[in-house]
Structure formats: structure tokens, C-alpha cells
Amino acid sequence: MQVAESRRVSLDTGWVRAQFPALGAAASISPQRIFLDAPGGTQVPESVVSAMRTYLVESNSNTDGAYELSRRTDALIAEARRYGGAFVGGDPDGIAFGQNMTTLNFNLVRAVGRTLSPGDEILTTALDHEGNVSPWLLMAEDRGLVVREVGLTEQLDVDLEDLRAKLGDRTRVVAFCLASNAVGTVTRAREIADLAHAAGALAWGDAVAYAPHRRIEVGALGLDVVLCSPYKFFGPHLGMAWIRPELAATLPAERVRPAAEVPVGHRFETGTLSHEAIAGFVAAVDYLASLGSGNDLTAKLRVAYDAIQRHESGLAGAVGAGIAGIAGVHSVGLPGDSADRVPTFGLVCERATPRRLAEALSDEGIYVWDGNFYAKRVVETLGLDLDEGLLRIGLAHYNTSEEIGRLLEALERVVRATANPTGR
Ligand SMILES: Cc1ncc(COP(=O)(O)O)c(C=O)c1O
């Protein structure tokens, strides 16, 4: 991309980390804490905290009222839609905010379900978080639809051959993730969307695990719907969807009768939103944009994501190489230096449960996650126990190579200790 190339910037991780109060606090605790739990939720910059506080102090109100605070709230939501549009590269009218991705998706799926007929088919994938699977299964049960699952390649990517084989003239939706929250695969979204469209189906993307690492461009990716969660990209607990406006206008949304019909994204916003979280979302996007440069939000975000991706790929390469050198543990899926991954690693431990290793790492101040992360079918496909799952190491752009060095040393030590608990 020309603009991004000509405005290439590098991340100043010292400056980045200074924006996050939680990282400063974590550094002053002994042993120093390292957050490697980004796919579960990221830390937030001070500007996000401050925007939420400012909203609550200066503008706290419901919408569409006659007085100043309500007008400010209306303006904030309109601004947030503009930010949401820039964030996903789509028409701001298609933005809908909600409690979280899962709740928004249940609403959207139910709306689509009302347009489908018994025997229509939905394709989901074995790579997806349940937030983009369970809503389809439940809706299909209610409406007599068929849900078929697309399997995975050996490297834990969506198997496009299987997708081609399962697409048919009854397929109405292909629901898939842009990146895996368990093992980090970045899927071939454009190809999946093109295959869906060629079959006359909607391309329904879950970008929750993608948005902290890569820029969403709904046009280039060919998506009809995309969902993400600002709390995974340095904002507060909130969900956001973009629905192609022509589609959003026609779906029979479940809503109260007097609610406004415009902008079309609002049709899927039920009840009063978390306005303070929406203020935090705007600040989170501003924070991301501040990592880039350019004339407008879109240009800045492109440059920022380019810098984030380059920083994270360096770290991911080091994590992959380091894990490969530790006996008794291995990472599943794509290699660490693959260009087709985000820096999220799923580890299988031969002699200890993921929980035991996560606890041992926590004792060293290193915060990682363990379990199935609601990526139920990934864990089952790997033949692992669903409750035990994987040990997950998930980086964000605020992590540093020093932290990765400490992680690898600690991981080697705890794996050795659990393999040989007597220390002999
Ligand atoms: C890939 C993916 N999709 C969906 C979700 C659900 O997001 P939310 O917590 O906003 O409902 C998650 C949460 O971890 C996720 O990682």
C-alpha cells in the first residue's frame, strides 16, 4: 500500500507503554508483571480512562433529549459511528454498538434467521469462537435450518477445499473468523468471502481476534458483516458490528416499535447503550491512530497497523523459535514467523495441564490464559480435553522483546519443574 509504505513508522515501545497505567503499575510490582493475555482482553491507555470519566462527569445523559448533556451524548454517538466506520473501512451508518460481540451476534443472527426458510444452510468453521457458532446453531434449531461445519487444514487454517465442497445452492451464510483467538491463524478472508458470494451467501466475519493486530478493511475483505470487541483493542468492555447498510436496512431487526430506523446500524442497538464505553472506544481508536501518521483517521490507522504488525511479527518469530527449543511443550498451528498469523500461540504441554503451567507462570508474574477460550472445535479437533484445552500466550503491541526473553526462560523452567517435580 503506497500510503503506508511512504509513511512507514516504527513503534516507540517506551512511549507506547507509558500510555498504559496498568503497565506502569505492573512494572513496579515484584516480580514485574508481564501481560501475555491480550486475546482475553487488553489493557487500556490513560486517554481511554479519562474519556470515560469525562463523559460521565460532563455529558452523562440519555439520548434525544432537549438539554445540552443529551445533545452532547447524541454528538458522541454520531462521532463514534464515524470512528467505527473509519476503523473498519466502511460506511459509518452500518455501525452498531452493543454489550459485546456475542450479544450483538445473537441479535444479528436472529434477524437473518427471520429471512430464511427451513432447509436453508449456514456454514460455520471449526476455527471459530463459539460467539460465531452457537448463535447459528440455536437459530437453526428454531427455524429448521442446517448448519454445516467447515474443517481445518493441518496448519489449523480454514480448509478451503472443504468449504468449496460444502457450499451449495441452499447456503445462505458463511460465518468465519478473520483470526483464531486460540492459535493465531489469520484466515484467507477474501477468498472465503468470494466463495460465499459466488454461492449467493453472506460473508459474516468475526474480527475479534484480528482487530488488535491487523486493520479491518470491509471492502478489501469483501465482508457483509463484521464484528469486533473494543476491549480486545485497548478500549473498554463493548461490542461493535458493521453491517453493510443495504443489508442492515432490510433485515427484520428485533427492536422496540418507537426506536429510530436511522442510521441503519442503530436498528440493531437495543435499549440504552454504554455511552461511557462508547466514549472510551473513540479514545481507543484515537490512541491507535496516534501510532501512525497521515492526513485523516483512515490514513493514520493504516500506518499504525503497519507498525503494529511489524513489531508483533518480530516478537512472534522470537516466541515461535523459543518454544521450539523447549522440550516438553510445543506450539500448534502455523510457525511463529509465519506471515499468516497474529501473535497468539496455543501450546500443548506433554506432562502438565495448561492450568498447572499457567499457575506456575503466574507465580513468576507472567499472565497467560489456559483452557478452550470458547474455541471449542479447535480444541476438540486437536484431540485435547475440552476443559483443559491449551496454554495460550497472546501478545499485544505493548509487549517487548525483554518480556519475551523472560517468558521463555520462565516457561523452560516451569516445564522442566513440572516434568521433574523432585528437581532431580
Ligand atoms: C474470536 C472471538 N470471537 C468472539 C469473542 C466473543 O467476544 P465478546 O466477549 O465480545 O462477546 C471472542 C472473545 O474472546 C473471541 O476471541
Strand partners, 346: 392
CA distance 181 to 163: 20
**Residues 295, 298, 304, 309: is their CA dihedral positive or negative?**
negative
DSSP string, 398-414: T--HHHHHHHHHHHHHH
End-to-end Cα distance, the chain: 55
Place of cell 482475553: 40
Architecture of the domain defined by 2-30+297-415: Alpha-Beta Complex (3.90)
- Domain limits, CATH 3.40.640.10, in the chain: 49-289
Distance 205 CA to ligand 1 centre (A): 12
* Pairing label, strands 34-35, 366-367: parallel
DSSP string, 330-359: EE-SS-TT-TTB-SEEEEEESSS-HHHHHH
CA distance 60 to 62: 7
What is the per-residue pLDDT for 409? 98
Mean pLDDT by 10 residues, the chain (424 residues): 61 97 88 96 98 98 98 98 98 98 98 98 98 98 98 98 98 99 98 98 99 98 98 98 98 95 97 98 98 97 98 98 97 98 96 96 97 98 97 98 98 89 55
Distance 102 CA to ligand 1 centre (A): 7
What is the per-residue pLDDT for 157? 98
What is the per-residue pLDDT for 27? 81
Q: For the CA atoms of the chain, what is the radius of gyration?
A: 22
From atom 4 of ligand 1, which residue's Cα is the shortest distance away? Answer: 131
- Domain limits, CATH 3.90.1150.10, in the chain: 2-30+297-415
Which residue out of 97, 125, 229 has the highest number of ligand 1 atoms within 8 Å of its CB and is therefore the one to mutate? 229
From atom 5 of ligand 1, which residue's Cα is the shortest distance away? Answer: 131
Which residue out of 102, 106, 392 has the highest number of ligand 1 atoms within 8 Å of its CB and is therefore the one to mutate? 102
CA distance 280 to 406: 32
What is the per-residue pLDDT for 1? 41
What is the per-residue pLDDT for 22? 96
Which residue out of 183, 187, 232 has the highest number of ligand 1 atoms within 8 Å of its CB and is therefore the one to mutate? 232
What is the per-residue pLDDT for 6? 55
Residue type, 74: D
What is the per-residue pLDDT for 30? 84
Helix (H, G, I), strand (E, B) or coil at 29: coil
From atom 16 of ligand 1, which residue's Cα is the shortest distance away? Answer: 181
CA distance 108 to 97: 12
Ligand 1 atom nearest to CA at 229: 10
Which CATH fold would you assign to the domain 49-289? Answer: Aspartate Aminotransferase; domain 2 (3.40.640)
Helices then strands, each counted (H, E), the chain: 16, 13
Q: Which of 147, 157, 160 is nearest to 194 (CA)?
A: 160
CB 204, CB 225: distance < 8 Å: yes
Residue type, 367: Y
Q: Which three cell numbers stand for residue 49?
A: 480512562
Q: What is the CB < 6 Å shell around ligand 1?
A: 39, 100-102, 129, 131, 177, 181, 206, 208-209, 229, 239
Rounded alpha-carbon distances, angstroms, from residue 160 to 53, 149, 184: 46, 12, 18
Residue type, 404: I
